[in-house]
Structure 1
């Protein structure tokens, strides 16, 4: 446990803990909406924000938040008013964000290419005290939205038409979810990187779905898996001197594979029980000729 004596590891573990909670908390709604790759699209837009921070001398975390949130809002507006399918809007985020980032990073005074790699693939051990403050504030907002409005967001992600009939502000909630996803991407970019952040938003949720039933249980399990893989991946990268972002994602995929293997027999057992229960109900149901009128 000597790694706890180092300030940079203390900051790294705090950042990992916050990302482990927030990424699956948003990812569960994206998976529900079948927009699992939305994090990738926003990550490419956030690249433009990071490059803008290098160009202006501002903190790249805050410029990435602003640009990625704007990009997520534009995507939702295109989906509503442009009559454009969600996958096309995501493609626009991919290509436009990447192109803007490449152009701006080359205009930065020092080029910024070396620093850019820490945002593309993550560099959790270089998290500064200012980064921890920014990540903590943004993570608090994400948790407040995803947990406090979980019923409303779940209803919108499950069936927008039904949610609209019940009186929910569907468009406002969609915008809020898009902005929250954008904030989560920028929060996680210092830990796993912009190119890998979507995995941390989706894989823990997919793993939790293999072993749980119900939205609340899946959300809790996904957040637990997220915290486990981020903390363990960070510690492992310290001892083995391997990239922390890639290590965390590999750990998440390993957990998904393990849960899938372990959950398969349970799923078959549940299916057999359901079939047996159905057969018993069929045998106990009286035939029409036996019913007394």
Structure 2
């Protein structure tokens, strides 16, 4: 275990995991409370199409995935306005488009398929200095934005109509949330993978809904649960030679099940 902790690749994995373990649940909490939890799946699938294009063109895959995620977030926001009564339809449309485009790009050059698999299922042990700089920058942007706009985000999350009536620029904040979500997802896909990234966004929020009594408590709980799962999952994966992304997700589910049983016990 000491040899593992002393390894440079594992230290980079821990740093990247701890950083994304703060930002992903924060954004995820806002999405869950706004009933947009599936947006994570949608943007992650579009990001994979960008990653595939990055491998084809020789451009840094995470950067291309980020551009694709940002464009998808903007399209989702546009479609949400067009389908006000069926806002979730916009997420399904973009997800379908992302999967379709990714499948086409996968068939253009089969030589990079194994590399893309690391973005599908996560490959946190392969994080390099560039990846850490990108993740740290995104973490700083998200934390600053949430810290400066916490009151506005709280009002928008729980009552968008009241926020609009009070003079809050709802369109601007919706766009900001979409962009922050795209940033977080693009940074997360190499850590837990596009197929698992929604778990990091939604499961900590699901845990907080069981025990939190206020929005402030929810923010603290999602971060604590996420960090415990990320650090514990990485240690378990390293010690037992398991998949890191899957270990993190399964530990998140274990925490959720424990909280559910604990809550049922209290009611009983």
- TM-score, length of structure 1 as denominator length: 0.87
Q: Which residue of 1 aligns with 2:60?
A: 59
Contact 1:139/1:187, CA 8 A, preserved across alignment: no
Cα distance between partner residues in 1 of 2:17 and 2:53: 25
| Runs of 5+ consecutive residues of structure 1 not aligned to the other structure | 270-293
Q: Which residue of 1 aligns with 2:78?
A: 77
Cα distance between partner residues in 2 of 1:86 and 1:133: 35
Q: Which residue of 2 aligns with 1:22?
A: 23
Cα distance between partner residues in 1 of 2:132 and 2:192: 15
Of 97-106 and 183-192, the range deviating more from structure 2 = 97-106
1:167 is paired with a residue of what secondary structure? coil
Of 20-29 and 52-61, the range deviating more from structure 2 = 52-61
How far is 1:82 from its partner?
5.2
How far is 1:106 from its partner?
2.8
Contact 1:48/1:98, CA 8 A, preserved across alignment: yes
Please say if 1:239 is aligned against 2:234: no
Q: Which residue of 2 aligns with 1:286?
A: none
Contact 1:42/1:185, CA 8 A, preserved across alignment: yes
The count of aligned residue pairs is 267
2:111 is paired with a residue of what secondary structure? coil
How far is 1:85 from its partner?
2.0
Q: CA RMSD in A?
A: 1.5
How far is 1:196 from its partner?
0.6
Q: Which residue of 1 aligns with 2:251?
A: 251
| Aligned counterparts, 1:71-150, within 5 A | 71-81=72-82, 83=84, 85-108=86-109, 111-150=111-150
| Aligned counterparts, 1:266-277, within 5 A | 266=266, 268=267
Contact 1:27/1:205, CA 8 A, preserved across alignment: yes
Cα distance between partner residues in 2 of 1:112 and 1:138: 27
Contact 1:54/1:105, CA 8 A, preserved across alignment: no
Cα distance between partner residues in 1 of 2:104 and 2:151: 41
How far is 1:81 from its partner?
3.5
- TM-score, length of structure 2 as denominator length: 0.95
Contact 2:83/2:89, CA 8 A, preserved across alignment: no
Q: Which residue of 2 aligns with 1:261?
A: 261
| Structure 1: 4+ residue segments shifted above 6 A | none
1:112 is paired with a residue of what secondary structure? helix
Contact 2:27/2:180, CA 8 A, preserved across alignment: yes
Greater Rg by CA? 1
Q: Deviations for 1:61-116, whole angstroms, at most 9, x for unmatched residues? A: 111111101101111011113557222111111110011112123334x6310001
Contact 2:83/2:90, CA 8 A, preserved across alignment: no
Q: Deviations for 1:174-201, whole angstroms, at most 9, x for unmatched residues? A: 0110111111111111111001100111
